[in-house]
Amino acid sequence: MSSILNQLNVAANTYGDKAYLFDKTDEGWIPSSYKQVEESAKFLSASLHKLGLNRKDNFAILSEGTSRWVISEFAIVFNGAASVPLSVKLLQDELPFRLNHSDSKGIFVSKNHLDKVVNIWSQIEKENFYLIYLDEDLDYLKRKTDSANIPYSQVKSYLSLLKEGEIIYNNNFSEMRAIVEEISIDDVVTISYTSGTTGSPKGIMLSHKNYFSNSADGVRMFKADEKLKTLIILPIDHCFAHTVAIFGALFSGMKLYFLDTRGGALNAIKNIPINLKEVKPDFLLTVPALSGNLMKKITDGIAAKGGFVEKLFNAGLEAGIRINRDAFQKAEFWTYLKDYPAYFLAKKIIFSKLKGVFGGNIKYLVGGGALLDIKQQQFFYTIGVPVYQGYGLTEATPIISSNSPFQHKLGTSGVIMPSVKCSIICDGGTVGRPDEKGEIVIVGDNVMLGYYKNIEATDEVIKDGVLYTGDLGYFDRDGYLVVTGREKALLISEDGEKYSPEEIEEGLVFHSRLISQAIIHNSQRKFTSAIITLEGANVKSLIKSNKIVDAQELYEVIEREVKAFRMDPVYKNKFPSKWMPSMFFIAPESFNEDNLMMNSTLKIVRFKVEEVYKKDIEDMYASNGAEFTRNINIAVLKKLFF
């Protein structure tokens, strides 16, 4: 096993002038080859070294995904230093802790996020901290840095450093080569900070060995090659994007196109459908929040057409789901014979055209992040754009298991990666048998080095080289891993029984087009309750089409939707009835990043939601809770829609 830098060199020699990274500009998509990326990273590394970046140092990056982002990270690592990739969704008040705790010597930053860095400059503790500007509007840079009295000597331009670096590198070739030769596979490549939803964020140290092992495993599992191309929509600071895309490409030769984010986040969202049509990706990386939005847009678009199209789509979808079942064992002959005509017709007339939403050439999506509801999996598999769901966490670099085009089963998180050993540890420390639930633990070269400057937290999750994930799950009888939820998020009933809420929450959302988000609650109570948010556009459409005249009538429709979930054949026998919500409170706003009820990885922050709506939760369990909550919900609906 070698370092990621050695693999970059292998890729540069193997693929040479073939395109690796693409950026969107006014002139179109501009490629950077494997050879160019390696060369530029070496030149930039020489300039960074001259600025004082040395082995074991750290340097941050705050920018949307671009080729310059990737080159900057490689340049940092060429110095034997570690990159500290920061989420573009961080609030500026969240930056000082990460920059100071990581001992970063500087930061690469794009124009879209320059204000965040400039505004907290006085809180940075490191002396001679460098700001390296990734964009080309230097007048804008000067105005911003001058206004904050940032010393001119500490502000640098990416392009000027790259240009100067070529001379420095060529004049100091032996020294720069010696630095690389000292790099060990156990050296840190990235320090990735957790979202900090409980206590201070922790810096997860991932090494060359971690990334090399997990990236090679992923490429092997998906049989990725240089024919593949993808549009990177997910934030590039995520470990998922690093392993599968940035470093995965070094093993496969595939092409990476970066979403056009010029002009900020709102423009980026608008550019997704445009860029998809331009790039025509073969696959996409996704998380449940993103694929869920895509699913709702597709179903809303079909519903808007109505008539024959909607009826055929729904009939074909239901028929396809019955035929495909869990995709591991498909339907029996008679079911196939009965359902095939509707499925075939829908595929021919409608499903085949839906690939156009993804650019036209899409083969599959690779899903990570939170649990993916079974209905999402069935939906995308049936329309011919399967989401191959995996499971992992940043502490595991991040992939532990995954479905793939060559081995998959809907409703599971796939099979364990080739070089990873995974066990289920039950209460009492015994190893779980098939279908027996317990904590997921792993051993492998993908297990992180630990948390930066936090030995105590490291020792809590890594014991004798074994990573205790804190996630619960089991292996089914076919050898597929089924993840049921986080141990810390367990519901606890009145009699002390415990259950994971995530699958029920996902099911509730995808059961109803009216429900946007859901958190269910039971802390030693007689019944389970829910806090839900609504899909505003769909609710307004319902009001118009059904001629609903007041909030009370609308509430009764939503109440029927929640009750119907308990009887949905997909979920009726999947979840014990005691954990299905008996009462619900309608939150007046969505759970989002602005109100801190969603983190930068698009996961709902459970404790924050329960903290904000603590009184409303308590009211549901009061003696007159049903009537009181009903009236509150009607008042919320009146304010939102009437």
Say if residue 600's pLDDT is above 90: no
Q: What angle do CA 360, 365, 368 make, to 5 degrees?
A: 155
CB neighbours (10 Å) of residue 626? 12
Q: In what order do the strands lie in the sheet with 491-493?
A: 498-499, 491-493, 523-525
Residue 198 clears pLDDT 60, i.e. is over it:
no
**Selected residue with higher pLDDT from 235 and 401:** 401
Contact 206, 188 (CB under 8 A): yes
d(C-alpha 273, C-alpha 19), whole Å: 23
Residue of 201 and 34 predicted with greater confidence: 34
Instruction: Tell me how many helices (H) and strands (E) the chain has.
Output: 25, 28
Whether residue 251 is predicted with pLDDT greater than 60 in this model: the reply is: yes
Q: What is the Cα–Cα distance from 545 to 550, expressed in whole angstroms?
A: 14
Give pLDDT tens digits for 275-285: 999 999 999 99
pLDDT tens column, 519-546: 999 888 889 999 999 999 899 989 998 9
Could you report the per-residue pLDDT of 446-503, keeping only the tens digit for each?
999 999 999 999 999 999 999 999 999 999 999 999 998 887 777 877 767 778 888 8
Least confident of 42-46, 171-175, 286-290, 529-533: 286-290
Residue range 237-264: mean pLDDT, rounded: 96
How confident is the model over 368-393, as a mean pLDDT? 91
Residue of 632 and 288 predicted with greater confidence? 632
pLDDT of residue 52: 97
- Mean pLDDT for the stretch of residues 133-137: 96
- Whole-number Å distance between alpha carbons of 255 and 232: 10
> Which is nearest to 443 in space by CA: 428, 429, 425, 464?
464
Residue type, 325: R
pLDDT score for 392: 94
* pLDDT (0 to 100) of residue 1: 62
Q: What is the mean pLDDT of the chain?
A: 93
Over 90: is that where the pLDDT of 372 sits? no
For residue 287, what pLDDT is reported? 86
The pLDDT value recorded for residue 117 is 97
Report pTM: 0.86
Q: Which amino acid is at 384?
A: G
pLDDT classification of 199: cutoffs 50, 70, 90: low
pLDDT of 499: 82
pLDDT per position as a tens digit, 542-567? 999 899 989 999 999 999 988 888 88
Q: How far is CA 65 from the centre of its chain?
A: 14
347: pLDDT confidence band, cut at 50, 70 and 90?
A: very high
What is the token pair recorded at 634?
Answer: 């009607």
- Domains in the chain (CATH in brackets) are 35-224+234-252 (3.40.50.980), 282-385 (no CATH), 490-641 (3.30.300.30)
- The pLDDT, as a whole number, for residue 196 is 54
pLDDT (tens digit per residue) in 582-595: 999 999 999 988 88
Examine the pLDDT at 84 and tell me if it is beyond 60: yes
